[in-house]
């Protein structure tokens, strides 16, 4: 049996004295989607940049990041450059800042193809670039290939970004908020496209998102991040049907749903602490209605819970009972 596609364990990331991410464990299997969810600033993008080997050298990264069993942490940049694009690729939230405004769509696609296929003939290159535009369902690809990013709509630009990411048929695709800059209809189309590509290519997908609704629709597994740590992780059905961490519960309760009226929406009180003011003990305690003395002193570990997930909460089993009672009241 071949090794799992991506396995991250004990990942800790520090900018100088400030620890941004601590002890993150997650994995992505072939053809599966992992949703990574959390409030702005909780460490999602930094985690993705660490996996891609794109953090600046002065940032301290420890733990383990294995792609198909091969350790990536500590490998030289040249080795990581050889992997990026080819075996793992990424797409970002804002295609306007990731695409090069002075290069045509065709030039950017051929550049991506050439990085890993230096010897491809010019005609084959053009054909490959057109095929990629067709793959991401861009109409009139012969015309689009000559255009520049500013001539395309936001949705088209995101499709071009996805085409570039697919240029070398990666095994793992990491999408960091790929649709937040787009309107709702286009968001749905882009998510559909990602799902289709994933199914066709048996690719592993790591989807970073604020949007629990999107993650619930397409992910197999979900990891909820709070203040640089994973607070709950497991199969999406288990986490959504039976959240065991009060933060997860709050996120789900604040999710607008057709079967819930707006006045039942719950907001999580307070806000994410800054890096410098993260509290002792459970990082969520200043915002948690279930907090007890022990929560202010002892940081809970991510432990298995009855739903089949893992949650980092001293009262994962008792708090969830109260949450259920409240939700049904
Ligand atoms: N280069 C850097 N130097 C110092 N701190 C940084 C740097 N980059 C990010 N951070 C800090 O690391 C924390 C995590 O940032 P990150 O960008 O990973 O958050 P995020 O979860 O992706 O948020 P968002 O949802 O807004 O994209 C933030 O507090 C941020 O200020
Ligand atoms: S450990 Fe305590 S403060 Fe933290 S989430 Fe659980 S109950 Fe709330
Ligand atoms: Mg981010």
pLDDT digits (tens, 9 = 90+) for 130-175: 999 999 999 999 999 999 999 999 899 999 999 999 999 999 999 9
Q: Nearest ligand, CA of residue 13?
A: 1
pLDDT digits (tens, 9 = 90+) for 21-56: 999 999 999 999 999 999 889 999 999 999 999 999
What is the SS3 assignment for 326?
Answer: helix
pLDDT digits (tens, 9 = 90+) for 70-113: 999 999 988 998 888 889 999 987 767 789 999 999 999 999 99
Q: What is the pLDDT of residue 257?
A: 59
CA–centroid distance, 228 to ligand 2, in Å, is 16
Report if pTM > 0.75. yes
CA–centroid distance, 114 to ligand 1, in Å, is 32
Task: Give one word for 94, left, alpha or beta, with left for phi > 0 and alpha for psi -120 to 50.
Answer: beta
Residue 35 CB coordination number (10 Å): 24
59-167-7-228 Cα dihedral, nearest 10 degrees? 40
pLDDT digits (tens, 9 = 90+) for 294-322: 999 999 999 999 999 999 999 999 876 66
Ligand 1, atom 26: closest residue by C-alpha: 40
Q: Decide whether any atom of ligand 1 lies within 6 Å of the 38 Cβ.
A: yes
Q: What is the pLDDT of residue 269?
A: 80
For residue 203, what are the CA distances in angstroms to 32, 105, 171, 232, 293?
7, 24, 5, 24, 45
CA 58 to CA 14: how far, in whole Å? 9
CA 324 to CA 4: how far, in whole Å? 35
For residue 81, what are the CA distances in angstroms to 52, 62, 236?
9, 19, 32
223, β-bridge pairs: 36, 233
Q: What is the pLDDT of residue 191?
A: 92
Q: Which residues have C-beta within 8 Å of that of residue 122, sequence separation ≥ 6? A: none
Q: Decide whether any atom of ligand 2 lies within 6 Å of the 240 Cβ.
A: no
Whether 1 has a pLDDT exceeding 80, the answer reads no
For 6-219, the fitting CATH number among 3.40.50.300, 3.90.420.10, 3.30.30.60, 3.40.50.740 is: 3.40.50.300
Looking at mean pLDDT, say which of 58-67, 208-217, 264-273 comes out highest: 58-67
Q: What is the pLDDT of residue 63?
A: 98
Q: Nearest ligand, CA of residue 299?
A: 2
- Which residues belong to CATH 3.40.50.300 in the chain? 6-219
Render 23-76 in DSSP notation, one character per residue: EEEEEE-TT-EEEEE--TTSSHHHHHHHHHT-S-TTSEEEEEEEETTEE-TT--
């Amino acid at each position: 049996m071949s090794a799992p596609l991506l396995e991250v364990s004990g990942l800790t990331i520090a900018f100088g004295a400030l620890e941004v991410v601590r002890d993150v464990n997650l994995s992505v299997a072939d053809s599966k989607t992992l949703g990574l969810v959390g409030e702005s600033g909780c460490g999602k993008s930094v985690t993705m940049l660490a996996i891609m080997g794109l953090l600046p050298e002065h940032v301290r990264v420890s733990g383990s990041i294995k792609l198909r069993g091969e350790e990536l942490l500590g490998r030289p940049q040249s080795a990581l450059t050889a992997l990026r694009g080819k075996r793992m690729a990424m797409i970002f939230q804002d295609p306007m800042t990731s695409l090069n405004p002075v290069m045509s769509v065709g030039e950017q696609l051929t550049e991506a193809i050439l990085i890993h296929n230096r010897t491809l003939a010019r005609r084959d290159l053009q054909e490959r670039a057109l095929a990629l535009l067709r793959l991401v369902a861009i109409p009139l690809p012969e015309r689009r290939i000559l255009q520049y990013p500013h001539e395309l709509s936001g949705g088209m630009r995101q499709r071009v970004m996805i085409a570039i990411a697919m240029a070398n048929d990666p095994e793992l695709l990491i999408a960091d908020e790929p649709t937040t800059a787009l309107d709702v209809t286009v968001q749905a189309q882009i998510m559909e496209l990602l799902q289709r590509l994933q199914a066709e290519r048996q690719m592993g997908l790591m989807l970073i998102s604020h949007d629990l609704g999107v993650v619930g629709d397409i992910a197999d597994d979900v990891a909820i991040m709070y203040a640089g740590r994973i607070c709950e992780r497991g199969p999406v059905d288990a986490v959504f049907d039976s959240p065991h961490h009060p933060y997860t519960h709050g996120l789900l309760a604040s999710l607008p749903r057709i079967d819930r009226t707006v006045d039942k929406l719950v907001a999580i009180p307070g806000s994410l602490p800054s890096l410098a003011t993260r509290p002792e003990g459970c990082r969520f305690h200043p915002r948690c209605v279930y907090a007890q003395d022990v929560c202010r002193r002892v940081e809970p570990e991510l432990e298995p819970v009855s739903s089949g997930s893992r949650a980092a909460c001293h009262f994962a089993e008792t708090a969830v009972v109260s949450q259920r009672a409240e939700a049904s009241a």
